[in-house]
Structure 1
Amino acid sequence: MSDDTITSLGESPSKPDVTALTVFAPAADSLVTPLRMKHDPVAMDGVRTHITILYPFIHPDALNGSVLERLRRLFSTHDRFDYTLTGIRRFPNGIYLAPDPAQPFITLTEAVVSTFPDYPPYEGQFPDIVPHLTVAQCEDPQKLSEIERDFAIQAATVLPLRASVSHVWLMERRNGRWWEHTAFPLG
């Protein structure tokens, strides 16, 4: 994914049922939840603060024991890791917190795509994988700049935030609402 756009999980209620793989980021909840509830559609659809590993993933009707076992095995071969949310970054239609290092997130995405090649990140729309924690989305550049400015003041007293990843979550979207399906522990 390039810095040309931001696509969050299920940004449109008209999107079909789908799944995604995410890493929850509870360390950032108190900082980002108020803005996410106003400016990130998936927060309103039930998705906790997260960094996406792969979206979209398999259709929920195609989930079965074999798929879940392949995911469990895949994630068990990757170590848990720590990261820091270091600063605010911007896509043209969104602001996000950047994780550092980004490589462990990229490695997880690449591993899933290697195992499930029919599901490239964001349907192959972007040449690069840019791990990000979405804070807000807005099509109006001026309003987005205002949101970013206000958030930067608030975040200055909190960032950097240290966090760790121990699980990858399979999320399922049905009827416009996201649900936590399965947690896969890292090795």
Structure 2
Amino acid sequence: MAAFLAVLTPEADAVVGHLRERWDPAVQRGLGAHITLRYPFLPLRALSSRDRELLADAVTSVPSFHYTLARVSHFPSTVFLDPEPASPFAALRTTVDQVFEQRLPEDPFPRYAPHLSVARHVRGSRAEVLAALDSALAGSGGAIRAACKAVVLLDRTGGGPWQVHMHLPLGQSRPF
């Protein structure tokens, strides 16, 4: 199984965790709310200690940032929240891609769109999911506020749960 890079978003679990438990199969594999940066990434067995250093350096070169999840959107069978701003997520992905570009597996979704999935495989029940998500957001003041301070490298073996193998802090945020 390929590893992947993500930003964990525990702030979202408090608001939409119950919806994800119902409609996102990734929850059953131990994966909390997150925004994927790169899937697939390199398999763990292919990462040398130098690769791990390069990955840590790449992530640290991007300053930490705050973001909001308020806008509900969807792909054909996935309902998700768009992070605002989205550009820091794209910057993180681009930075990592530039370091490993020659070795990365082909991306099945080359047009990166950062998002936090709430429900997957829900074509037939999308209206129900959208209503439930709107209600959950309204109950939290209309938005989820979060901070991106780290990226994690996750992997799972066979049918086992996703596990964090590296916790990679971002750089210091810049003053305004």
1:46 paired residue number: 30
Write out aligned runs for 1:44-123 (5 A): 44-117=28-101, 118-119=103-104, 123=106
Map Cα deviations across residues 101-154 of structure 1 (whole Å, 9 max, x no partner). Answer: 00000111111111111326xx33334211000000124x23122121222122
Tell me the secondary structure at the aligned position of residue 18 of structure 1.
coil
2:125 is equivalent to residue 151 of structure 1: no
Q: Which runs of 5+ in 1 are unaligned?
A: 1-16
- Rounded to whole Å, the distance in 1 between the matches of 2:22 and 2:85 is 28
Tell me the secondary structure at the aligned position of residue 28 of structure 1.
helix
Map Cα deviations across residues 18-40 of structure 1 (whole Å, 9 max, x no partner). Answer: 11111011111111111212221
Q: Once the 2 structures are TM-superposed, how far is the Cα of residue 63 of structure 1 from its aligned partner?
A: 2.5
- Cα RMSD of the aligned pairs, angstroms, is 1.5
Range that drifts further, 106-115 or 145-154? 145-154
Tell me the secondary structure at the aligned position of residue 68 of structure 2.
strand
Tell me the secondary structure at the aligned position of residue 31 of structure 1.
helix
- Residue from 97, 110, 114 that aligns with 1:131: 114
Tell me the secondary structure at the aligned position of residue 131 of structure 1.
coil
Write out aligned runs for 1:151-170 (5 A): 151-158=133-140, 159-170=142-153
1:186 paired residue number: 170
- Rounded to whole Å, the distance in 2 between the matches of 1:125 and 1:76 is 26
- Rounded to whole Å, the distance in 1 between the matches of 2:34 and 2:108 is 21
Percent of pairs identical after alignment?
35
- Rounded to whole Å, the distance in 2 between the matches of 1:172 and 1:32 is 23
Decide whether the 8 Å contact of 1:18 with 1:174 is kept in 2. no
1:172 paired residue number: 155
1:173 partner amino acid: R
Decide whether the 8 Å contact of 2:19 with 2:119 is kept in 1. yes
Q: Which runs of 5+ in 2 are unaligned?
A: 172-176
Tell me the secondary structure at the aligned position of residue 3 of structure 2.
strand
2:174 paired residue number: none
